[in-house]
Amino acid sequence: MKQVILTGLRANNDLHIGNYFGALLPMIDMARDRSDDYQINLFVPDLHSFTTPIDHSQLLAQTLHNVKLFIAAGLDMNKPDIHIYRQSYVPAHSELTWILNCFTGMGEMSRMTQFKDKSAKLSEDRISVGLFDYPVLMTADILLYGASYVPVGDDQSQHLEFARDIAERMNNRFGELFTVPEPVAKQHEFFGQGGAVRSENRGAGRSESREAGRSENHQGLRIRDLQEPAKKMSKSDESGKGIIFMGDNPDEAARKIMGAATDSFGEIRFDPKGRPGISNLLQLLALLSKQPQSAVNSAWEGKASYGDLKKAVADQIRVFLINFQTALAAVDNQMIVRKLELDEAAMNETANATLLRVQQAVGLRSSPNVK
């Protein structure tokens, strides 16, 4: 059997171009490049999506919409070893979480940095037990399918180490119940530093509509906020002027580029640390035009007109969004539902087999060896 690579597709909230280039495209390329040798599980963590408050009336529609975003970006739905499924449609995720909870210490969860960071932004009555328990559900997501590889960023590394700890704890007590995922260092080695898959540009033979904005040589970069380039682009931008969503009107997105903050040096220079605003525009131009960063830098460095550079980036973002939104509109909703239902049936079979093994070990079900 193939080893399993598991990663999650966002269940809610619109994606912005930072998500697109930094996370979505690397995930799609990983699925494409690795699916001949590995089983790729791309699950929609819809249960995770409301560990903090959301608009629940929009969750189901947003879940399906975000699956459409991945398909529009080029995810191949026809490869037999690429599986897409919704977390809540596999009930074993919830039951295994409960069982693992009973072997998890409060101290372990209290030390989770992400819980501390997220809960600090909420009033006490808005901090849910679900947010506290998030790492255990994430562990169930991984262990149910025997996943060896899980691409994680720095904010999730602690959760992955907990998944390894609880898997080893259960195996030591009850026998070989779980495949223990590889440690964080090996994960980074497998996927490339920072968790982003490094792959060669294999653009030949793929349609332009499914290639809207693809620039594999530049994936994994952190796109900066257009108004505050010292920080990365984020949904927390309340003004809306510093962020470009994938669903933005292309002309409005172009205007945001024209209004981007730069600096007062009067000469274009690529220096991400010292001159983040102008460097962000150069990075965007490389990504959107599918050129090497060095080629873009060579063409623009030393020039004095920031306005010309902004216009070049604005023209590219307009074309990029038009192409992507056209591809998105062409995605067949019925095809998505059929794919989800087919893969969810297969994933239920795998997850239920793991869950039964655990239930038998902890005394909830009779063992096949006991009459």
Positions marked active-site: 118, 232, 235
Cα–Cα dist 220/20, whole Å: 9
- Tokens standing for residue 121: 């932004």
Indicate the residue type of 189: E
* Ordered strands of the 82-86 beta sheet: 82-86, 39-44, 4-8, 147-149
**Exposure of 57 in the CB half-sphere (CA atoms within 13 A):** 0
Give the type of residue at 298: S
41-61 per-residue burial string, b: 16 or more CB within 10 A, e: under 16: bbbbbbbbbbbbeeeeeeeee
58, 256 Cβ separation under 8 angstroms: no
Q: Which residue carries 């997850």 as its tokens?
A: 351
Orientation of helix 129-143 relative to helix 92-101, angle to 10°: 110
CA–CA separation, 5 and 299 (whole Å)? 40
**306 and 262 in contact (C-beta within 8 Å)?**
yes
Distance (Å, whole) CA 365 – CA 55: 38
C-alpha–C-alpha distance, residues 75 and 51, integer Å: 27
- Could you tell me where the DSSP H helices lie in the chain? 17-19, 25-34, 59-72, 92-101, 106-110, 113-119, 129-143, 154-174, 184-191, 250-258, 276-289, 293-300, 306-329, 333-362
Distance, CA of 257 to CA of 273 (rounded, Å): 20
Q: Are 8 and 50 in contact (CB under 8 A)?
A: no
- 71-98 core/surface letters (b: 16 or more CB in 10 A; e: else): bbbbbebeeebbbbbbbbbbebbebbbe
Residue found by looking up tokens 């959760």 in the block: 159
